[in-house]
Amino acid sequence: KQEVTQIPAALSVPEGENLVLNCSFTDSAIYNLQWFRQDPGKGLTSLLLIQSSQREQTSGRLNASLDKSSGRSTLYIAASQPGDSATYLCAVSGGSYIPTFGRGTSLIVHP
Amino acid sequence: EAQVTQNPRYLITVTGKKLTVTCSQNMNHEYMSWYRQDPGLGLRQIYYSMNVEVTDKGDVPEGYKVSRKEKRNFPLILESPSPNQTSLYFCASSLKAGGLTDTQYFGPGTRLTVL
């Protein structure tokens, strides 16, 4: 059964730092991977979707990479801001179409 | 505004009292799904629907029912709620059907407490 692990579980950094959030999955036979942001008391917001044939996706200060062979994805956040404070979730789906989510990385960016 | 709405946002009920959580999207999406989020367990999919009248089980379907009679609505039904169904529930939708094939749009969540 697919398992998704996110490291670190929590992260606290000063504003302006470049960050790397890690996501690893046990079954490399995935169709796609998606990174989400979850703010307290709110639903999830999709940040980046990477199809299995792609290696990376970029949106503004965010860049996500995917290495299927090693079962890893990274989310890179450039020049972090206090507004980036949230929980970041990684999810993968394969042939069953049922997504598997990681438990998330809780990020605090302090001024 | 394109959105997924859920009602109610908060609900406290008692064991065995049937309840329905509604979910509606205004984006003409084909795919809709329900998740529950529990501390230490992450999000787990309950049911999903590829299109009208097509529903299927997710990872944790026991104790839940769904229906998809219209494209925009996907209610979650708990026929006889139990305390272990206390959780935070999310509805999600996407334009294309199938897992994470397309960008997922999530509702704001429903916090359910079963006493």
Residue B43 touches chain A, beta carbons under 8 Å: yes
- Which residue has 């059907």 as its token pair? B97
Residue pointed to by tokens 């994805």: A73
- Contact of A2 with chain B, judged by CB distance below 8 Å, is answered with no
Q: pLDDT of B96-115, one tens digit each?
A: 877 788 899 999 999 999 99
Question: Which of B59, B101, B109 is nearest residue A43 as measured by Cβ atoms?
Answer: B109
The pLDDT assigned to A57 comes to: 95
User: What is the full DSSP assignment across chain B?
Assistant: ---EEEE-SEEEE-TT--EEEEEEESS--SEEEEEEEETTTEEEEEEEEEETTEEEE-S--TT-EE--SSSSB--EEESS--GGG-EEEEEEEESS-STTSS--EE---EEEEE-
Three-state SS at A91? strand
Distance in Å, alpha carbon of A57 to nearest chain B alpha carbon: 13
**% pLDDT > 90, chain A:** 84
pLDDT at B101: 82
Dist CA A68 CA B52 (whole Å)? 33
Task: Map residue A10 onto helix, strand or coil.
Answer: strand
Q: Cβ neighbours of residue B39 under 8 Å, at least 6 residues apart?
A: none
Measured in Å, how far apart are chain A's first and last C-alpha atoms? 41
- Using CA atoms, how far apart are residues B11 and B94, in angstroms rounded to an integer? 26
In this complex, is the C-beta atom of B107 within 8 Å of any C-beta atom belonging to chain A?
Answer: yes
Per-residue pLDDT tens for B31-90? 999 999 998 888 999 999 999 999 999 999 999 999 999 999 999 999 999 999 999 999
- Average pLDDT over all residues of chain B: 95
User: What residues pair up with B92 in beta bridges, in sequence order?
Assistant: B33, B106
pLDDT value at B2 more than 90: no
B42–A34: do the CB atoms touch at under 8 Å?
Answer: no
Of residues A6 and A42, more confidently modeled: A6
- pLDDT over threshold 80, residue A96: no
Mean pLDDT rounded to a whole number for chain A: 94
Q: In what order do the strands lie in the sheet with A19-25?
A: A4-7, A19-25, A72-77, A62-67, A56-59
A75: helix, strand or coil: strand
Which residue in chain B has the smallest CA separation from A92?
A: B100
d(CA B90, CA B6): 8
